[in-house]
Every structure is written in structure tokens, then in C-alpha cells.
Amino acid sequence: MTTRSETRTALDHLLTEIEHRNPAQPEFHQAAHEVLETLAPVLAARPEYAEPGLVERLVEPERQVIFRVPWQDDQGRVHVNRGFRVEFNSALGPYKGGLRFHSSVNLGVIKFLGFEQIFKNALTGLGIGGGKGGSDFDPHGRSDAEVMRFCQSFMTELYRHIGEHTDVPAGDIGVGGREIGYLFGQYRRITNRWEAGVLTGKGAGWGGSLIRPEATGYGNVLFAAAMMRERGEDLEGQTAVVSGSGNVAIYTIEKLAALGANAVTCSDSSGYVVDEKGIDLDLLKQIKEVERGRVDTYAERRGASARFVPGGSVWDVPADLALPSATQNELDENAAATLIRNGVKAVSEGANMPTTPEAVHLLQGAGVAFGPGKAANAGGVAVSALEMAQNHARTSWTAVRVEEELTHIMNDIHTTCHETAERYDAPGDYVTGANIAGFERVADAMLAQGVI
């Protein structure tokens, strides 16, 4: 039997090879390190996972597509953006993962997101593989007509690579209901098919699922609540800091309030707001979802209880719970140290990889319950898979049923991660539990299907 030391050495060699074969992709390197450094125990215990080069295949996408996206703005000027779709692993089902439209998007970012998606989707138990896509187009400040023209151009290339049994994109940063509508319309126009299951995040009146907009935020809070229950506490009366002010952050704040916690912050790229009375959801939704404004407007309208802090760190605000819900690597080691000094009990990731590796280790070392994104924010893709099920049956579930299913799935994910961590002598380590549990499910399917 291979020892853990020998397995660790082999993984280190593989990580070096990943960096060499994928230059200038630091986000992907980080995601690969975060997963592979936890796999030595399972590879030592189950050597069949190492023999067919399974891990080497797992870290290499099955397919990577890069294409140009030309479009015209309202003044008739032509712009050329770059589109991506990385179809990472389909051992458990069709590729599933969102589209991100943001200026920061590049191949390394999409690969990191797609790699994370493999394990996240596996943890849901819903038979979906991992993929991700997007573009360096930024819809912020663009008119509806400009966004429509971009989406139509983007889908004119993407349509040939997707399908309800092949690859099912959804939304992510910069891609909400408006963008999904334009993308679906162009897909239908090109293919002459009403293939509802090809995209998720659709409008509830034309194939979408109730609770889908809320699902990532709701699911993250449900996972945080499960971690707190494991420590003998609940969310009632707890103070929470939340970063971001988009879809994930808004519905994180909403679910926290429903479970008795008080979220006192939100943020965007301009700075953050602290509201001593708790974030006013109706006002935040009006500014961010209707007016597409900035959080400083929230502070101006809210009154004396709220203040806007330009720049700075939302993690400076004392709280019992921290829920990073904006973007990758937003919570660093210094921020983690501040949270620990201020008595934080749990950190649960609503965004994808928002906490740096150094910060994760610091939080875990201090005894803070830490919910990694591949487990904690799996609610969004879980309800996307439920949307696919409704599309397949040409039916629509009630909001109550969808939320019950989501609650069941998130509690199952927590239990799976917790029990797997204990099984591999890492009690309370949700990172190890999530990585190994997701890996085992994908690895078993890959072994069964042969070297492909």
C-alpha cells in the first residue's frame, strides 16, 4: 500500500506540472492546490484512484472553448470581447456551471471556477458535471440594447457547444435574469427548438424555477446554520457581516433575517455600508436590482443608522458570522486576523473561493467554523438542477417545495462533509470533508467509465 508520504510527494509533483502546463493562471493553481493538498489520505487509503492516472485526468478539462464576441454599442462602434466555456468533467452528468460577464474574466479564472464546480456539483448528489464560462464583457453601465446585442453575439458561437444533455450554463456575476433571457432567445432563434433545459436561471413564467434567484444566498445561510448547530448554537440573535450587494449577498441577508440573525453590512467596489439597525432589504433591492446603483446611495437614503465607508474592508466590522459573497480572494490573512480578534464564530463562503489559503488556515487554526464555497454555496447549482428536472417533466414546483428540497440538500451536504472529515481523521474540517467527499463521487464514476 502506498504511504501518505509517497502520495503527498506524487501530488506535489502533479501540482508542479499543473503550474508548468497552465502558466499565468494563478486562480486555477490556487484552486488545484486547495483540493489536491487534502487528497493524500484518500489516495493512500484507496490506491485504485491513483493507478489509471485518474487525478491527472481530473485536473485537465475535457474541453476548452475560446471565441471572439463582436458587438456594436448604441453609437455604432464595434467592440470585440473574448468568450470562454470550459467543460471540465462530465463523469456524473452534463456539464453544469454559470456564465460570468466581468472585466476580470480570463481563462485562468474560468478554469478555477470550473474545477471548483466539479466537486460542488458532486456534493449535491443531483447527477451534474462541472463546467464554467463567461466573457470579459462588463454589462455595468451598458444599455439593455447593448447587453442584448452582446448576448446574441455570444450565444451565436456558444450554442453549438451546449445542450440539455451536454452542457447547461446558468448565471453568475454579471449574468442575471435579463442576460439569461437574451441568451435563451438567441439559442431558440438559432436552433428552432424550445429546449428549456439548455439554460437555468430563466424567468419563472417561461421555464424557470421559483427560489432560483434566492438559492445561493439561502443555501449559504442554511449551511452556516448547520455548522452553528454542530457547535450547539443557532443563528437567532447573531450579528453577521456580508460582503457584496448582488444576488448572492441580497438573499444571504434575507435568509439571515428569516432565521433571526442581523446582517449589518453590504458592499461593492466603491466601499461598504454599516447599518446598525440591520440592512433594509427593500431599500437595498431597489438600489441594486432596480436602479443598478451603488451602495453609497443606500447610506444616503437610509438615514442616521447607516454610514458609507469608501474603500476599506468590510471585515473590520465586528460580528459573530462572516459571509463573503462578492468575489474570489476578497478575505485575506489580515482580514481573517481581524475577524478572529473580533470574536467571529463561523465563516461561510457565498462566493467562489473568496478566502485566501492563508486566511483559511488562520481561521481553522483559531477554531472558527469554516464552510468552503464548494459546499456552502452549492444551493444555487442545486436549484438549477431542480429547474432542469422541472423542465424535463414540463412542470413547475411551488416555492415551498423548492425551498424544502434546497433545505434538505444543504443539510445533506453539511452531513456528508462533516462525516467525511471525521472518517479521514480531520474532525470539524469542512474543507477536507468537502474535497474528499466530492472527489470520491467523481472518482468512482470515472473508474467505472474507463480511461476516457
- The answer to whether the CB of 414 falls within 8 A of the CB of 63 is no
Please name the residues in contact with 9: beta carbons below 8 A apart, sequence gap of 6 or more.
none
List, in sequence order, the alpha helices (H) in 125-246.
Answer: 144-158, 177-191, 215-230
Q: Is 132 a catalytic residue?
A: yes
pLDDT confidence tier of residue 309, bands split at 50, 70 and 90? very high
Q: Do the beta carbons of residue 198 and residue 168 sit within 8 Å?
A: yes
Which residues have C-beta within 8 Å of that of residue 259, sequence separation ≥ 6? 221, 225, 234, 235, 236
8-state DSSP, 175: B
pLDDT for residue 282: 96
Which three three-digit cell numbers place residue 326? 462578492
With cut-offs at 50, 70 and 90, classify the pLDDT of residue 32: very high
pLDDT class of 2 with cuts at 50, 70, 90? low
Q: What is the pLDDT of residues 348-369, one digit of tens each?
A: 999 999 999 999 999 999 999 9
Confidence category of residue 292, pLDDT binned at 50, 70, 90: confident
Q: pTM of the predicted model, to two decimals?
A: 0.95
Q: What is the pLDDT of residues 66-109, one digit of tens each?
A: 999 999 999 999 999 999 999 999 999 999 999 999 999 999 99
Q: Would you say 265 and 272 are in contact if contact means Cβ atoms under 8 Å apart?
A: yes
Which residue out of 111, 120, 132, 288 is catalytically annotated?
132
Q: Half-sphere exposure of residue 11, counting CA atoms within 13 Å on the CB side?
A: 23
pLDDT value at residue 1: 56
The answer to whether the CB of 264 falls within 8 A of the CB of 239 is yes
For residue 400, pLDDT beyond 80: yes
Q: What is the Cα–Cα distance from 92 to 126, expressed in whole angstroms?
A: 9
What's the mean per-residue pLDDT of the chain?
Answer: 96
Q: What percent of the chain has pLDDT over 90?
A: 96
Starting at the edge strand found earlier in the chain, the sheet holding 95-101 runs 63-72, 78-89, 129-135, 95-101, 167-170
3-state helix, strand, coil in the chain (%, to 5): 50, 15, 35
Q: What is the pLDDT of residues 271-287, one digit of tens each?
A: 999 999 999 999 999 99
Q: Which contacts qualify for 417-421: CB closer than 8 Å, 24 or more apart?
A: 417/123, 417/375, 418/230
Alpha carbon of residue 118 to chain centroid: 11
Q: Is 333 in contact with 362 (CB distance < 8 Å)? A: yes
Q: Which residue has the higher pLDDT, 312 or 72?
A: 72
d(CA 119, CA 35): 9
Q: Is the pLDDT of residue 383 over 80?
A: yes
Separation CA 215–CA 350 (nearest Å)? 11
Cβ atoms of 266 and 295 closer than 8 Å:
yes
Q: DSSP of 355-421, one letter per residue? A: B-HHHHHHHHHTT-EEE-HHHHTTHHHHHHHHHHHHHHHT----HHHHHHHHHHHHHHHHHHHHHHH
Q: What's the pLDDT score for residue 379?
A: 98
Answer whether residue 8 shows pLDDT above 90: no
| pLDDT value of position 6 | 84
Domains of the chain from N-terminus onward: 4-59 (no CATH), 63-195 (3.40.50.10860), 215-376 (3.40.50.720)
Residues 127-136 have a mean pLDDT of: 98
- Cα 137 from Cα 151, distance rounded (Å): 10
